[in-house]
Amino acid sequence: MQILVTGGAGFIGGHLAERFVRRGHAVTVLDNFDPYYNVEIKEHNVQAGCDAAEAGNGSYELIEGDVRDDSLVAELVSDVDYVYHQAAQAGVRTSVKKPKKPNSINVAGTMNVLDAARNADIERVVLASSSSVYGKPEYLPYDEGHPTTPVSPYGVSKLAGEQYARVYNEVYGLPTVSLRYFTVYGPRMRPNMAISNFVSRCINGNPPVIFGDGSQTRDFTYIDDVFAANEALLETDAADGEILNIGSTDNIDIKSLAVAVRDQLAPDLDLQFGERNDADAEHTHANISKAHDLIGYEPTTTIREGVEQFIGWYQDNREWYEPLVLSS
């Protein structure tokens, strides 16, 4: 297959690109290398894709550009079978400070991708959405029918993007699927996430810092499970026009997560607490039955297994990854 991964030098996009290459696909990556976090991590994602191609599997091509460039997007989309649209301005807290930026990238950029795809011979556009679209829970776990009342500009922008994808499916017949990710983590993850922060602090003898009282719960989803969901969409058309939750096997409160990391790396450390950000969701928990029924999604990595694997990866890659985490 010919596959375009927008945002393919980022965390999730980088893993998708690398693994699709290893499966023998021809992958084109579009990324603008926005320094939202240290671009050296993105460079390692690119290197992973190049290494996969050099191993004699599929092919990998990097295009440095922006999804807001409609002519470039149209040119790239016209040459592929599938588009995995991962490019976005991430970050709930960042969006509160700069609300226009996620709108320009996550909404206008998404429309560029969708409009290019409806004018091309595309098998499917798979859009990365987020659990941030839900906002304050009326019940848990969230199913896809739960009201969507996001509490951040980021959540609003992701909701708009997935609704445009749904409309392009209904109005133009464009095959689309939107995946609502629930806090994805794993190797080469963004350095400003809770798990990477806890690990980096504990491994250096500093107490993990929890924002709030730690009672907030999260559905942390390991990157291997996220890739499995995306790969399944190469093999079935059962989910066209749908929006699917992609979560984990369980959820955990932030304090217990910090304790689990602390106990594995530096059990003598105390916990520290900071002020909670009001834009952060209080709880997230995914009902994944729809994704299971339509695409056979079955997450296999528990949070404790995933954290253990991430810690092992961190220790093996500490020389290059840790300075980037600590400087974020």
Q: How confident is the model at residue 275 (pLDDT cuts 50, 70, 90)?
A: confident
- Which amino acid, 39? V
Q: 3-class SS at 233? A: coil
190 within domain boundaries: no
pLDDT digit string, tens, across residues 43-99:
999 999 999 999 988 999 999 999 999 999 999 999 999 999 999 988 787 788 888
pLDDT (average), residues 224-239 = 94
142 within domain boundaries: yes
pLDDT digit string, tens, across residues 143-191:
999 999 999 999 999 999 999 999 999 999 999 999 999 999 999 999 8
166: CATH: 3.40.50.720
82 catalytic residue (yes or no):
no
126 within domain boundaries: yes
177 within domain boundaries: yes
pLDDT given at position 130: 96
Q: How confident is the model at residue 255 (pLDDT cuts 50, 70, 90)?
A: very high
CB 12 within 8 A of CB 288: no
Indicate the average pLDDT of the chain. Answer: 94
232 within domain boundaries: yes
pLDDT given at position 99: 84
Measuring CA to CA, how many Å separate 215 from each of 98, 130, 266? 28, 21, 22
- Which amino acid, 28? T
Lowest mean pLDDT among 59-63, 131-135, 139-143, 321-325: 321-325
pLDDT (average), residues 202-218 = 93
Q: How confident is the model at residue 279 (pLDDT cuts 50, 70, 90)?
A: low
pLDDT given at position 238: 86
160 within domain boundaries: yes
H helix intervals, 242-317: 254-265, 289-295, 303-316
188 within domain boundaries: no
Max distance between CA atoms of the chain, in angstroms, equals 60
pLDDT given at position 121: 86
CB 304 within 8 A of CB 158: no
pLDDT given at position 187: 97
User: E strand or H helix at 193, and its extent?
Assistant: none
pLDDT given at position 94: 79
Whole-angstrom distance, CA of residue 98 vs CA of residue 154: 10
User: E strand or H helix at 224, and its extent?
Assistant: helix 223-232
Domain that holds residue 32: 2-182+222-247+280-300
23 within domain boundaries: yes
CB 104 within 8 A of CB 68: yes
pLDDT given at position 266: 95
pLDDT given at position 283: 85
| β-pair type (252-253, 217-218) | antiparallel
Whole-angstrom distance, CA of residue 105 vs CA of residue 245: 22
Q: 32 Cβ partners below 8 Å, 6+ apart?
A: 64, 65, 66, 67, 87
The one catalytic residue among 37, 134, 154, 222: 154
pLDDT given at position 278: 64
Residue 256 has pLDDT above 80, yes or no: yes
pTM exceeding the 0.85 threshold for the entire prediction: yes
Q: How many domains does the chain have?
A: 1
Whole-angstrom distance, CA of residue 180 vs CA of residue 143: 11
**214's tokens:** 């730690």
pLDDT given at position 328: 66
